[in-house]
Amino acid sequence: MMRPFILPLLALLAGAAPAAAQTVPSFASSGPLGHIDAAAAQRGFAVYEASCAACHSLSALHYRDLEGLGLTSAQVAGIASGIKLADGTAATPDSPFKPATLPASAFGGALPPDLSSIAAQRPGGAAYIYAVLTGYTPAPAGITLMPSHYYNSAYPGGQIAMPPPLHDGAVTYADGTPSTTAQEAADVAEFLTWASDPTLTARHEIGLRALIFFGFLFVLALVLKRQAWSNQS
């Protein structure tokens, strides 16, 4: 009786899924067993430095924290020494990330937010960041943009003060990955997910091990308890 209803429904779902997957890539970090994809996050750091750092600070991070993404201390020292701080000296691994240089007045008072915990603050996390970065389209007919705003289908309200920050080839990846806009957006979203939750991988690993451990112990304890009480009665 149910089949005629279920089959079209299934077909609908099957048809809908690939379409959704095309718009937002799947992130290694999403889901209960997700982990930070260190290679993607390293590329994402390159994107941040090249395309976001001028406007957005990342005040919670020090350069040494990048070792958490699998960089060696020598690599981190190299990265830091290439960054000129406001007083003209080079950064060291123990410096906090360099503050943004563009004044907020540059965007008519729309303050570029600090990105340290943006992935935790916005529902959807990495997927939302990706959607905003790739959501720039020409404004639909009938919509008048506010001065120095851009139409963005993923941003609540549709009008964002951030100019489109990414374009194909904005960075050259060290690992040779082609730097398309979508690739850059996905990588920087993974990097920002790591920035707001640097222990995500360890948390999921430890959590899973503890679940298995306590689950196993629970069953053992239950058997023990049953045995003890059956002797008694």
Partner 1 sequence: MTDHPASSWALSRIPGLGCVCPCRSTRAKGGSYLGAVPFLIAVTALLVLASGVVLLATYNARSPVASLQILSHAVPQGWLVRAYHASGTTLLAGLVYLGLFHGLLTRAYRAPGEYAWMLGVKLLAVLLAASWFGYVLSGGAGGYWSYQRAMMAALQFHGAARGLALWVLSGGLPKLLVLHLLLALSAGLALWAWLAARAKVRATPPPGEAVPFYPYYAAQYLVALCALGFVGALLIGFLPHLGMPALNAVPGSGLSFAANPGLPWYLAPLGAAAGSFHGAWGGIGAVIALAVTLYAVPWLDLAPPEAPPSRLHQALTWLLGAVVVALGVDGTMPGCPLAPVLDPLLTLYVFLHFLVLLPLVTWGRAK
| Residues that bind partner 1 in the complex, under the rule CB under 8 A | 32, 60-62, 65, 68, 111, 114, 116-117, 120-121, 123, 196, 198-199, 202-204, 206-208, 210-211, 213-215, 217-218, 221-222, 224-225, 228-229, 232
Residue 44 CB, shortest distance to ligand HEC, in Å, is: 9
Q: Which does 172 bind (CB under 5 to 8 A by kind): partner 1, ligand HEC, none?
A: none
Residue 120 CB, shortest distance to ligand HEC, in Å, is: 12
Phi, psi (degrees; rounded to nearest 5) at 225: -65, -45
Nearest CB to partner 1, comparing residues 105 and 144: 105
- Residue 137's nearest CA partner among 151, 123, 156, 120 is 151
Nearest CB to ligand HEC, comparing residues 56 and 98: 56
Nearest CB to partner 1, comparing residues 31 and 78: 31
Nearest CB to partner 1, comparing residues 131 and 166: 131
Kindly list the residues in this chain that would bind ligand HEC in the complex (CB under 6 A): 47, 51-52, 54-56, 102, 107, 110, 112-113, 118, 122, 129, 132-133, 160-163, 165-166, 188
Residue 225 CB, shortest distance to partner 1, in Å, is: 4
Residue 18 CB, shortest distance to partner 1, in Å, is: 28
Question: From CA 134, how far away is CA 27, in angstroms rounded?
Answer: 15
Q: Which does 54 bind (CB under 5 to 8 A by kind): partner 1, ligand HEC, none?
A: ligand HEC
Question: From CA 60, how far away is CA 119, in angstroms rounded?
Answer: 13
DSSP per-residue string spanning 151-195: EBTTSTTSEESS-----TTSS--TT-----HHHHHHHHHHHHHHH
Q: Which does 55 bind (CB under 5 to 8 A by kind): partner 1, ligand HEC, none?
A: ligand HEC
- Sequence-ordered list of residues with C-beta below 8 angstroms from that of 100, at least 6 positions apart, any chain: 53, 54, 55, 56, 57, 112
Q: Which does 56 bind (CB under 5 to 8 A by kind): ligand HEC, partner 1, none?
A: ligand HEC
- Sequence-ordered list of residues with C-beta below 8 angstroms from that of 168, at least 6 positions apart, any chain: 179, 180, 181
Residue nearest to ligand HEC (CB): 52
Q: How far is CA 179 from the centre of its chain?
A: 17
SS3 string, 63-130, reads: HHHHHHHCCCHHHHHHHHHCCECCCCCECCCCCECCCCCCCHHHHCCCCCCCCCCHHHHCCCCHHHHH
Question: From CA 51, how far away is CA 23, in angstroms rounded?
Answer: 22
Q: Which does 132 bind (CB under 5 to 8 A by kind): partner 1, ligand HEC, none?
A: ligand HEC
